[in-house]
Amino acid sequence: MTNLERDLFSLVTLVSNVTEAYSACLFLENKRRKEFQLTTFHSLSPHIIPNASIKYGQGFMGWVLKNNEPLCLNQFNKDTIVLGYYGRDEDIKTFMATPLPSTMTTGVLAVDGKNRWSFTNKSQKILAGFAQQFAYLVDGALMAAKVERRSVNIDSFGIYLASLHSCDSEDQLLNAICLVPRELVPFTACFLVLKDEEAGVSHLVSTSGFGELFMDKIEISDRSSVSGYVLTKNEPLRLPDLKRRPLFQKGEPDFGARSVAAVPLVIDGKSIGVLGFINRQRGQFDSYALKRAEVIAVPAADAIARVRREKKWRQRAEYDPATGGRNLEFLRTRMDEILRDAGPRGRRVALLDIEPDNVISIRNEYGPSGPEELTRHLFDLLEPFARDGDILVRYEGPRFFLLLQGTSIEHAEAVAEHILMAINENPLQIGQREIMLSACVGASCFPEIAGDADGLFLASSKALKSAKFSGINQMCLTGGMTSNALI
């Protein structure tokens, strides 16, 4: 029993005692059912119907509600059942009722007795005074509930914000977004839809409370679905009765949703997705719940934007803008990790330093665009030589490093031979002209030649200088041995 229920029961008991009533009853409006329900009572009868209800204008209490006037019957000669709150006749002789002077709801306070002429004008004034007290209690409770519906639970909202900020990856964040505390929104399941700008489609990407969903198969239908409408219109949507409108696409399974509230996720004025809540009962989302959903959507969208920015920054830090592949900084970072892992396991690692011989002549003839074309061309040729775990990066201009894991000096030599052959057999096309290419390769191997990353870089660079000193199409292994790979 809540505090309000205890207060109402105490007050109705006092009404019964002061007026010497057989029963004292309070009926309040149930707007959802469009009727008035017995909210609290005190009675000497065992036949009171605890869940009794009356409709507007029905019986004596319905008359009081309809006319908003008190009623006193000191010669009640009707069957008791017509009062609406007895299960059988109780031989009631007197009845008195008065409307509640409430500003937030409608109700009626009634008393009855088994003796004729039990209630006087004084009794009517007393009942009216009690009705005023009931109105104070009910209005106060409704006002508090209204404020609570409008407000956001600060503690729960703070926990939710902390969970979003603690996510390092986008996958973690998408899962965390759907774990909204139920103190904030009265939902049974939550869903997250995101728009893929490059592909031009939107998909369901995360849920909670739905059970198992094959989300990769759920593409959002524009406008014909709840999610599609919110995405297209970029405005919130509240449906107290969902009826047959799909959440995501036509022909989707029945998720048991009977009411829904969905709000757009907005970044820089553009809708990037939808955060939605469903309930398996109708009429569960009021306008305040929708406002709270909009409040929740703001940090969710900001968190998605933050994670995506960080991802782009990491990509810029790890990727080479000239080739779209990994850059030298990424190789340096990964090489330390790879060598630490390879040492205890007795695994070998080779580093190839690859540089074409034609760079100066191409730059002289075509200007800066020539070496740029050469760089992209060599990257396309070399990329297939990077197996799983191997790393190809551009050093400077059209010069490249290729790190080979789990290899040997012999395997590094064989890869270098195939690289030089591929470069020779695939001329560079600039405009209508084909330019034949040649290159040199220097190689070093861990742990035979160098015991750390700096040693590998230094040894392979020295080997490249030795190869270039010997001529074109040369490769130098172990820091000194040179050979013409094409002889």
Q: Please state, in angstroms and rounded to a whole number, the distance separating the CA atoms of residues 75 and 73.
A: 6
Same domain? 267 vs 288: yes
Same domain? 387 vs 427: yes
Q: Cα-Cα-Cα-Cα dihedral of 222, 228, 232, 234, to 10°?
A: 180
In this predicted structure, what is the pLDDT of residue 14? 95
What CATH number does the domain containing 143 carry?
3.30.450.40
> 160 with 180: CB under 8 angstroms?
yes
Q: Which of 94, 116, 148 is the last residue of a domain?
A: 148
Q: What is the pTM of this model?
A: 0.51
Q: Is the dihedral of CA 73, 74, 78, 81 positive or negative?
A: positive
Secondary structure of 327-385 as H, E, C letters: EHHHHHHHHHHHHHHHHHHCCCEEEEEEEECCHHHHHHHHCCHHHHHHHHHHHHHHHHH
In a domain, 26, yes or no: yes
412's tokens: 């590094």
Q: What is the CA radius of gyration of the chain?
A: 40
Say how many Å lie between the first and final Cα of the chain, rounded: 96
Total domains present in the chain: 3
Same domain? 62 vs 90: yes
Q: Please state, in angstroms and rounded to a whole number, the distance separating the CA atoms of residues 471 and 483.
A: 10
In a domain, 139, yes or no: yes
> 334 with 196: CB under 8 angstroms?
no
Chain-wide mean pLDDT for the chain?
A: 88
List Cα–Cα distances, 266 to 21, 178, 195, 295, in angstroms. Answer: 61, 16, 11, 12
List Cα–Cα distances, 14 to 27, 105, 127, 250, 449, in angstroms. Answer: 16, 22, 11, 59, 98
pLDDT tens sequence across 254-276? 888 999 999 999 998 889 999 99
Q: Please state, in angstroms and rounded to a whole number, the distance separating the CA atoms of residues 43 and 150.
A: 38
Q: Please state, in angstroms and rounded to a whole number, the distance separating the CA atoms of residues 78 and 481.
A: 119
Alpha helix (H) residue ranges in 151-258:
154-165, 170-177, 226-233
pLDDT tens sequence across 309-363? 888 777 677 888 888 888 998 898 888 889 988 888 888 999 999 999 988 899 8
367's tokens: 């200007």
Same domain? 389 vs 240: no
Q: Which of 107, 133, 148 is the last residue of a domain?
A: 148
48's tokens: 């009171």
* Strand order through the sheet with 94-99: 53-54, 35-43, 23-30, 107-113, 94-99, 71-73
What CATH number does the domain containing 334 carry?
3.30.70.270
Q: What is the mean pLDDT of residues 104-133?
A: 93
In this predicted structure, what is the pLDDT of residue 213? 67
Q: Which of 108, 130, 148 is the last residue of a domain?
A: 148
In a domain, 353, yes or no: yes
Peptide bond into 99 cis (omega under 30): no
Domain range holding 450? Answer: 328-484
Same domain? 465 vs 359: yes
In a domain, 321, yes or no: no
331's tokens: 């190789």
Same domain? 140 vs 160: no
Same domain? 420 vs 348: yes
Q: What is the mean pLDDT of residues 120-144?
A: 91
**Least-confidence region, from 18-22, 106-110, 308-312, 401-405:** 308-312
In a domain, 319, yes or no: no
DSSP letter (8 states) at residue 32: T
Same domain? 333 vs 449: yes
Alpha helix (H) residue ranges in 216-319:
226-233, 287-318
CB atoms within 10 A of CB 415: 21
Same domain? 404 vs 304: no
In this predicted structure, what is the pLDDT of residue 480? 44
Residue 385 — very low, low, confident or very high, per pLDDT cuts 50/70/90? Answer: very high
